[in-house]
Structure 1
């Protein structure tokens, strides 16, 4: 069951985030089989991410929370908040999804 996870970085964590990036990417890549899509969100005037969105295919909300709370960015306090919501696609790849 897909869950959308949106997270936002705390202010002033840019250098910490840079230092944790390799560990974060390793974590994300080790979970690729469960990830439908993952990426950063950016302000209009900068090319450094300030948050992100993940759509994760897991069995329960608890598994989605476990995923985000084990991300090195969360563990080390980069995120100011996150939101986990069940996700049902409506349009995919320019076409209406079945269902």
Structure 2
């Protein structure tokens, strides 16, 4: 089952990240056939690493937690926050290299019986927009209720947020979804 794993950097760790980069990549190589999406979040100007995103297909929550906590950057204390949430992948396309992307996310509390929790999850035609390269509904551990969304969009933050908002609010059961948008880059050795 896929899990969305996001780790936010500690302040001022750029040099240390570079020192641990090969260990990080070697660790990720072990999961290469299970990584659905991966790459760093970066500052608005694209110059500074701010976090790390992985959507990885693993057996269960315990395996996802292990994946996150055994990652070399985490073990070295270079991350300050860690998010691990089960994800239902709704759309996944191969991102292009050297193209600006934005990662749009939102999380909301699960509320029993909300329309977004009982209707089938989907994008309602948004999948035809080629700017969307990845979309996943974040779900509770039983996979029954939607608790958020994560999307990678070939657009700058404001445009990306506007593109994701309609289906995020549908997944949220018609409630307003507070979306965050940050620059993201395709990761990996290639």
Sort the TM-score into its range (normalised by shorter chain).
0.7 to 0.9
Deviation at 1:33, TM superposition (A): 1.9
The residue aligned with 2:9 is: 9
Output one character per residue of 1:37-90: Cα deviation in whole Å (capped at 9) or x when no partner.
111101112423210211010110110110111111001001101101110122
Runs of 4+ in 1 over 6 A off after TM superposition: none
Q: CA RMSD in A?
A: 1.7
Distance in 2, Cα, partners of 1:43 & 1:21: 18
Structure 2's unaligned 5+ residue stretches are 94-126, 129-190
Distance in 1, Cα, partners of 2:76 & 2:7: 14
Q: Which has the higher contact order (CA 8 A, sep 6+)?
A: 1
From the superposition, tell whether residues 76 and 90 of structure 1 become closer, same or farther in structure 2 (CA, over 3 Å).
Answer: same
Distance in 2, Cα, partners of 1:66 & 1:7: 14
Which is greater in Rg? Answer: 2
When structure 1 is superposed on structure 2, of 66-75 and 27-36 the one drifting more is 27-36
TM-score by length of 2: 0.47
The residue aligned with 1:63 is: 63
**Larger helix proportion, structure 1 or 2?**
1
